[in-house]
Structure formats: structure tokens, C-alpha cells
Structure 1
């Protein structure tokens, strides 16, 4: 078999692997809970609710299946969205259109197991509040087996008031965040804290498009700090948790720091793309961080790897650096993942991730990772 024939077969296999399995308003906001229940529809037999290709740490500890093939509830308004997320009986939430989170209306998603929240093409959750008390879009606490896919989270821009992130995982286990975009969070874009474990972010894009607001009470005039893992060096209960994978994610223009900043945990950053020219530092290895930085592409950024403390283990393996300055190497030896993951060559990362990261799906589609 010649090279051209082999290449043709390979490309055809990739196309088949990414073929989708489709997913497919009711009531008024005055009775949102009833609207949620009446909006529940039978799942199309063509929709595959359990995606077998969940990559990275979220595939461990029994795996992550979310709401599986449960009936889905369609939402188009804030009241419907809030009611559906807070209703433990609703297992799959389908979001359409742009939904604005009112000031102080941050959604509290707590104490649930087995749920999928996904967006149709262009679905967006927007917050316009920059205050400490009333900012943020969603706070996920003590939840297990959760999938969040194909959603755009848009905040009002960075402002150091010790406010809220666009989204936060707090003491959650087995969460898969896939093909999402989080941008312009007040405090951060998407943080992970308090013993959260077995988390995967895949094909997710982080950016800041809005000018940061100076003069916040926290003292940082440019707080475009995207992703924080672990809230404090003194939070020693976090030891042994924070097993997190970032696979084919994109820290895009506007990000300044925390891409991510890590305390504790075993964090695998593989096949990700960093190209924010305003960066001060990218991956930050904080207190007792254990980070495997593998086959990523760093382009025109400062300090790709910041070795913040002496109590870290960072393995920097076969990464690509172009136009960067600052540290590129690791220190000590980080963990070896217990899972296997389909891996791109570092030279292919930029094209693949810049084309595929973000809310680029039509809905809750499955395809080979």
C-alpha cells in the first residue's frame, strides 16, 4: 500500500470518527418550574447521551456520563434555565439563544449527581455585573458526574473586587467541560477549588476581549487571570485531589495570568495552545503543584512555565516554543497519568486547537476525541 493510499484511509477514518450523533418553548417565566417539567421531551433515538470518548482524568473513578440518555429539557430564558439546573429531576438541560443572568442572579447548582447541561449552536450565558456580590454566572458545588458542553460563558470584563468567576467548581467530582468558551470573567473565567477531583477540560477556550477595569479593591489593575486551581496554600485538605486534565484547550488573546495557576493536585496539560501576547506568565506551579506539561504549543507569550515555589514537580515534555521569553523547563519529575489519551504532535496543536476549541458544536454531539 503506498503512502497516498494510507493517507487517504487515515483521513477517512478521522472524518468518520468525528461524525456526530445528533441531539435534539414552552410556558412562561411566571411559572418556570412548570415550564421546565412541560418542556421535558422524549430523547430522539438518534441522540447518544453517553459519549464514550471522555478523555483524561474525568474518565477515571468510574467515568463521567452526565445525564446520559435521559429526557432533555429545553430552556431559552433565565427563569427556565435556573429552574432546570436547580431541579434534581431534570438530568439533561438544552440551552438555546442568549440568556442574560440578572444582577445577583448567579445560578447555584448544588448537591446533584448525573446531569448534562449543553448548548445548541451559539448558546450563550451572559453576566453584565462587575460587583463583588452580584457577579458570576454559575457556581457548581458538591456535584458529581456532571457534563457541561458547547456553551459560551461571557462576563463583563476583569475587575479586581474579589468578585465571582464566570463559573466555579467547588468540591465536585467527575466533571467534563467540553467545547465551551469562557471569557471576560470578573475574577476569573473558570476556577476549581475545595477538593474537586477527576475533572477534564477539553477543547475549551479561555479569553479576555474586554478592557480590564482598574482600581478594584483587590489592588490589581489588570486582573485578566483566567483559571485558578486551589484557593489557598493553607487549604491542605486539597492534598490528594485536583486531578485535572486540560486537553486541547486554548488560552487565547487577552489572558494575562493563571493558564492555569495550580496548587496541590496532579494536573495534566496536554496539546493546549497559548498565544496571548499580553501574558505575564502562563502555567504557574504554585504550592505543592504536580504538573505534567506535554506537547503544547506556546506562541509569543511570556514565561510559559512559572516555577513559583520550591515544593513543585513539573515535567515539561516535548513542547513547542515560538517567540516566547522566560522559563520553558520543568523541575523535579511530575506524575504519570493512569489513562491513555489520543495525542497530537506538538506541531499540529495550533491548527487543531484554534479550529476546534470553543463552542464549535451544533449541540450535544459525540465524536472520537
Structure 2
């Protein structure tokens, strides 16, 4: 059934969201390290860009606050990072701890990473690092050195690798989940519940089909990865007031509440490469002051209410200034509505998604929200996007560079705040093939 709604017409103006990469160097007051070692891994590389993961091990005295410095030798530039605050002056890069990894014990490790650019002729690994100004005498271990293979002749279908984190979850210190914790595999509801609820950082691998009911609480600093075919049947995950959580490569079906619920000022959550079908309520609902979330490369099908952002018109005091979420490269495959339905959040970024046969609507901006809708592919969607929904008053919505096939033109109006992170936009007419070829569980190696 098509949901009734109120739509309000505003004067449409042209607005362009600015792109920038910003970093603030935080002062560090700590004893100098007496030694350290670094693993620098280029995990993915494409024409003009790359992703690197860096693990530093403190071989000296315990630190309360740290920075890691190195210099690039061939003009590389950091464009966005996670796990640290990155700044760059000429060739020198400084990565400074964020709150959750400030303390670095003796023999302790910190895992950080970044996306960067290179000049297409060489991308050598840095040869020297310092931790709090002391040279890492334990050495540099390069992994996946890009100079051993030629770069691809054409870029991959997305501006960053499909496995890379982009969007709001890269902000506020980034999102690393369980980091380098040793993985634990769970095969039962009781083991999964226990692992999710632990107060320690954890990487949790889900194997097989786990049948459960209700909502399982996920605490901070967790990475939840599905092995091939991993399925959560009958229940969902709730992240309530916690932070730094990654959920990837799982199939959720037949949940009896929400599949994933993010609430009570939870921050830094990445929901990536999952499949959702036939649930009771939201596939991914984000509400009650939560912030800094990326929802990417998921598939929703045989389902009604997909993704709610902001649960109530009466919750402005908690929600205004928060609810900043990026939705990109998701496949809304015949799902009905809420792709997403937005209250208060500004800017909310909806880009390079594929909408197909959505009987209700695509995107709704309400309650003074600001939504940037760009580079999406709408096919057989009568109502791609609009202002206001049900009893909720209108927000603003800027639409640009979208592609429409047998679809309505949508309703836009007003202006939207600038996007503070770097991203590149796939050509909208290519989004259908890109997203259907990559979205959903089972499309990545984890």
C-alpha cells in the first residue's frame, strides 16, 4: 500500500555542496617512545588512487597520546583517513591519535588507514617513520608494495575500492571497529550475544545461519563479519549509545523488530555489503541523536520500510546537529519506502544508489533536514524524492546529476550544508551496473 504523505512545494534553488578534507593537529603530551615498528600495507590501488592500512607497534614505554609521522617520496597526498586525525604539510604526514586509541601500551598496536592519491608513475612505501618524534628502529614492513606491479590501465567502477570506507563514518576520528583484535567465530545465538555484548574490542566472524529473536546489543569497538553465506534469521542488532562498530557481509531476514537499529547518540558506525529481506520494521534505522554513520553497498528486497533517519517530529532537541549519514551504492530492489526518510539531519548525503521499482517513494526530506541527492539511478520509480512526508513538515533537498528511466522527476528545494569529506561520484548512468554487480552480502572477501 502506498503510504499517505503530505508534500510541500518550495522554490527550487541551485546549491552545490563543497568538498574538503580537513584535519586538526592535536597537541600530544607524552613521554617519548624508545622504539617502534610499522607495517604499511597498500591494500588496494587504482589509477591515481590507493588505500593504505598502517599498524604501528610501540616497542617503548607506554604512551598516553601519540603521533606517527612519515614523508612520502613521490608526491602522494592523503585525502581521507580513519583511526587517526591526519594532516599533511608538503610531503610530511602526521597521524595523531583519536580519543579511543589515545593510550598505547608497551607492545601495544594502533591500526589506522587512509585513502590517498599518487601520480601514476610510482607509489613507493615510505622508508622511515617516527612515533612521538623517535625513529621507529624496529623497521618498516611493506605489504603489497605497489611498485612491484603496474597500475591498472583503467580505474575501477567506483572512485574508491568497494571495500573502502567513505562518508560520514570517516569523520569524528574514523571507524575501525574491533581493529586488529584476533577474530573469534560464532555459530550460535548464545555465542553471538556474548561476543557482541563484550566490553572488549572484538572481531566477530559469523558462520552459518543463526536463528534468534528480538534485538541483540552491540557494544563499542566491534567488527561483525559474515563468512560466506552467514545469515541472521529472526532478530536484529541494536547499537545504543555505543561507538565504533562495523557490520559487514551478513544476510538479515525475517527480523521481528529492526534488522539494525542505531540510537541514543551512537556514533561512528559502518553498515556495509549486507542483504536485507522480509523483515517487520526497518532494515537500517538511525535515530535519537546518533551521528557519523555510513550505509554502503547493501541490498534491500522483498521489504517495505527500508531506512529511517530520525524517529519522531518531537525529537528536535536531541537530533538537530546530529543524524549525519552517508548512503551510497545501495540497491533498493523493489523495496517500498524510506530510502531514506530523513528528519533533522543536515547534511545527509545520498549518492550513487540504484532505485528500482520502489512502489512508495525513494527519498523524503522532512522537519528541516538537508539532503543532497546526487548521481543516483532511478528506474520505474514514480516518486524518486520529495519534501515532507505524512504529518512531517518539509526539509530541503538538492538534487543533481541523477539518472531517470521511466521515473518521475522528483521534488527538490532549498539548500543543503556542505559535505566535509572527500568523495568521487560515479556517472549516474553507470550506477545500475556498478551497484547490481557489487551490492549485498557475498560480494566482498572478508
Q: TM-score, normalised by structure 1?
A: 0.74
| 1:295 paired to 2:410 | no
| 1:84 paired to 2:201 | no
Q: What pairs up with 1:29-44 in 2 under 5 angstroms?
A: none
Q: What pairs up with 1:86-101 in 2 under 5 angstroms?
A: 86-101=197-212
CA distance in 2 between counterparts of 1:315 and 1:168 reads 27
Residue 245 of structure 1 is matched in structure 2 by 326
Residue 213 of structure 1 is matched in structure 2 by none
- Gaps of at least 5 residues in structure 2 are 1-44, 54-109, 115-163
1:246 Cα offset (Å): 0.4
Residue 260 of structure 1 is matched in structure 2 by 340
Residue 145 of structure 1 is matched in structure 2 by 244
Residue 185 of structure 1 is matched in structure 2 by 279
Residue 123 of structure 1 is matched in structure 2 by 230
1:143 Cα offset (Å): 1.1
Q: After superposition, give the CA deviation of every residue in 1:167-188 in whole Å (9 maximum; x if it has no partner).
A: 2001210111111122222012
Paired residue total = 291
1:13 Cα offset (Å): 3.3
**Kept after mapping to 2: 8 A contact 1:99/1:126:** yes
1:230 Cα offset (Å): 0.6
**Kept after mapping to 2: 8 A contact 1:205/1:251:** yes
**Kept after mapping to 1: 8 A contact 2:51/2:113:** no
**Kept after mapping to 2: 8 A contact 1:228/1:260:** yes
Moved over 2 A (4+): 16-20, 48-53, 360-364
1:285 Cα offset (Å): 1.2
* Structure with greater helix percent: 1
CA distance in 1 between counterparts of 2:319 and 2:277 reads 26
SS at match of 2:415: coil
Q: After superposition, give the CA deviation of every residue in 1:311-361 in whole Å (9 maximum; x if it has no partner).
A: 411000110011013x42410111220111132110110000011011134
1:113 Cα offset (Å): 2.6
* Structure with greater strand percent: 2
* CA RMSD in angstroms, aligned pairs only: 2.4
| 1:328 paired to 2:328 | no
Q: TM-score, normalised by structure 2?
A: 0.61
**Residue 351 to residue 362, structure 1, CA distance change in 2 (3 Å):** closer
- Gaps of at least 5 residues in structure 1 are 1-11, 21-47, 128-135, 157-162, 210-223, 365-369
Residue 106 of structure 2 is matched in structure 1 by none
**Residue 66 to residue 329, structure 1, CA distance change in 2 (3 Å):** same
More divergent stretch after superposition (136-145 vs 240-249): 136-145
CA distance in 2 between counterparts of 1:320 and 1:17 reads 28
| 1:198 paired to 2:292 | yes
